[in-house]
Structure 1
Amino acid sequence: MSLGNPLSLLLIPPVLFLTYRVFVPAAHTPSPPPTTYSEETYNWIPAKHPDVLRHKKFSAKQLLPYDGTGKGKGKGKEGERILLAIMRVGRDGKFGERTVFDVTSGKSFYGPDGVYGNFAGHDASRGMAKQSFELDMLTPAGDPLDTLSDLTPAEIDNMKGWHEHFERKYIVCGELVEEGEEEED
């Protein structure tokens, strides 16, 4: 390869630059990760690790006190915790277990005054599938769990999307099961 070749002439500047960088590295100071939420960052590191619940099986009655009102199970932190359940949908479209999520960190959405506040302490599967916040979307706590057998494929996809969103954003703390299958505290 001769220096008269145009390709050789084009390669000289990058080779010189890379040689320079080997002997004189650029000063790079990584920015520290954000410690609080800001408009520029969606992923952030909390100041301290959140309090968590032991993973367990909940009945609808056991889930009910976790509505974020502070009137539920225990006083203080425990009574202000917000849990809700959503049915898992497999890749094959078949229903799986109902996952219980701790959505306390999303209190502005799922708390008593939040847009999705009526789902707190309940199985939110039907409401999330149908994109409805009406109270008749909730199964009463003493009734058997909703089979969701009348959902359309589009509604099942909605529910699946919500479940995936919750898995990425919130802590899984249990499973919603029929009355009599739950674990005691």
Structure 2
Amino acid sequence: MEYVEHRMNDEAAKDVASASLVSPLNILLVSIILYTAYTTFFSKSAAPQLPKPPPPTVFKIYNPHTLLPFNGVDNAPVFMAIRGAVYDVSRGRNFYGPGGPYANFAGRDASRGLACGSFDEDMLTKDLDGPLDTLADLGAEEMEALRGWEERFTEKYDVIGKFVSMKEFEALNSKE
């Protein structure tokens, strides 16, 4: 009789152990593990898409007339010249585009205004057909300020062209 009781206790213990493996919680956990493994190793979903790079910018020669339309109006790019280099400052549209604090420099030569720390219209060259501002009358402190601006622009924005006077532009185009 003792043998029968012992055998029944063994069988009862087996039923409890096997029943605990097939609980709803274990089924849920196994399902989650299988789903995660499947999506990680076997899913054919595409890799995350990177944003499109901006279109390449061709290095060009600009004069005061060809630079002027790039002032950010009507979603145009925003370009600005500093000491003969043309920068694409479109990423800084909030500063250099329409309504920004430096908006009067958009599409223009900003060298004198940046050197003097002035946003006034009288800092801009009025005669677009005349020679470029040589900045010869600026002092050492103003030229140092301008070099600081140039460094900042060179680090932050792309140089996309060269800024020349109308006379130089016509001379370059007549050679071609």
TM-score by length of structure 2 reads 0.65
CA distance in 1 between partners of 2:112 and 2:123 (Å): 6
- 77, 83, 104: which one pairs with 1:81? 77
Q: How does 1:94-109 map to 2 (within 5 A)?
A: 98-109=84-95
- 98, 104, 112: which one pairs with 1:112? 98
Letter in 2 for 1:125: S
Greater helix proportion:
2
Kept in 2, the 8 Å contact 1:83–1:100? The answer is yes
Aligned length: 121
CA distance in 2 between partners of 1:106 and 1:113 (Å): 12
Kept in 2, the 8 Å contact 1:101–1:171? The answer is yes
CA distance in 2 between partners of 1:138 and 1:47 (Å): 37
Q: How does 1:28-107 map to 2 (within 5 A)?
A: 47-70=51-74, 80-87=76-83, 98-107=84-93
- SS of the counterpart of 1:181? helix
Larger Rg: 2
Structure 1: tracts of 5 or more residues without a match: 1-45, 71-78, 88-97
CA distance change for structure 1 residues 49 and 115 in 2, over 3 Å: closer, same or farther?
A: same
- Map Cα deviations across residues 121-149 of structure 1 (whole Å, 9 max, x no partner): 00000000000000000002222111110
RMSD of aligned residue pairs (Cα, Å):
1.6
Query: % of aligned pairs identical?
Result: 44
Structure 2: tracts of 5 or more residues without a match: 1-49
Number of the residue aligned with 1:26: none
Letter in 2 for 1:129: A
Whether 1:165 aligns to 2:171 is: no
Kept in 1, the 8 Å contact 2:130–2:165? The answer is no
Kept in 1, the 8 Å contact 2:131–2:167? The answer is no
TM-score by length of structure 1 reads 0.62
Structure 1 runs (4+) greater than 6 angstroms displaced: none
Q: Shift of the alpha carbon at 1:53?
A: 2.7
- 134, 138, 141: which one pairs with 1:151? 138
